[in-house]
Amino acid sequence: MVTLKLPKIIGHRGAAAYAPENTLEGIHTAADLGIEWVELDVKLTRDQVPVIFHDDTLERTTGAGGHVAETNYEDLRHLEAGSWFSEGFAGVKIPTLEEAVEVLLERNLGLNLEIKPCPGRERETAEVALDALSQIWDEHDRLLISSFSHVSLEAAFDLAQDWPRGLLLPKDWPENWADLADYLKVSSINLNGNTCTREQIEEVADLGLPILAYTINDLDRARLLRSWGVDGFFSDAPDLLREVVERMH
């Protein structure tokens, strides 16, 4: 299993409290805050271009109708994905995975890439995204491939065994989560830090894997999770958690 030196704080979708999520501007914002890693979501367009985007549908962040999986990249790249956040970000675009990685490398950031497949494209999304990533990303100890989809993680394992994988657990854990973690040889467990219990954290701790909690924007919750044994946090406002992290050893 790959040894991974994870940071204590990872900027969620860039730095989603301060800039539009999953954009180049969000990545730059995280870097400007002094954050070491960011988490970004990758999906495929209709014509199999990996883009940094979270939802299956386009409406929430672009105002456009339709599904990512049914939209060609040429149409997607003309959409505007910033003004929903604030007028100061009007004109911001949906980046490709390649464009995002260029900025990550420029700003010397680590990456947690969440494979966020549209339904039915679980394996395809992993294969296309990781094939693209393999041509431009060299640092294995500064990369974590994660997904809620065990099919996507299985594809990642088949395609790039030496890249660390993180198993994302939803609010309601699958009964076989520990078996999945073992089967997929994951390097971290990423769980919902706002709904998990101390008992669940202790169960994960028994596996001896790093525990990352998403999406933590509250200092008191971060302190509590830290006292339970959580190793790191995903946050929309990653700078706010520094106070907690500075006391973590």
180-232 tens-digit pLDDT: 999 999 999 999 999 999 999 999 999 999 999 999 999 999 999 999 999 99
Q: Give the lowest-confidence range in 2-11, 131-140, 147-156.
A: 2-11
Query: Active site residue: 28, 54, 67, 140, which one?
Result: 54
Whether 3 is covered by a domain: the verdict is: no
Q: Is residue 68 part of a domain?
A: no
The CATH number of residue 205's host domain is 3.20.20.190
Q: What is the mean pLDDT of residues 43-51?
A: 98
Q: What is the CA radius of gyration of the chain?
A: 17
> Looking at the domain assignment, is residue 87 inside a domain?
no
Residue 112 lies in a domain: yes
The answer to whether residue 54 is catalytic is: yes
Total count of domains within the chain = 1
Which is catalytic among the residues 12, 67, 78, 140? 12
In this predicted structure, what is the pLDDT of residue 51? Answer: 98
- Look up 67 and say whether it is catalytic: no
| Res 3 pLDDT > 90 | no
Across the chain, mean pLDDT equals 95
In a domain, residue 21? The reply is yes
Does 184 map to a domain?
yes
Domain with 112, as residue range(s), is 9-55+97-245
According to the 3-state scheme, what is the secondary structure of the chain? CCCCCCCCEEEECCCCCCCCCCCHHHHHHHHHCCCCEEEEEEEECCCCCEEECCCCECHHHHCCCCEHHHCCHHHHCCCCCCCCCCHHHCCCCCCEHHHHHHHHHHCCCEEEEEECCCCCCHHHHHHHHHHHHHCCCCCHHHEEEEECCHHHHHHHHHHCCCCCEEEECCCCCCCCHHHHHHHCCCCEEEEECCCCCHHHHHHHHCCCCCEEEECCCCHHHHHHHHHHCCCEEEECCHHHHHHHHCCCC
User: pTM, whole model, 2 decimals?
Assistant: 0.97
Average pLDDT over residues 103-128: 97
The reply to whether 192 falls in a domain is yes
Q: Per the domain annotation, does 71 fall within a domain?
A: no
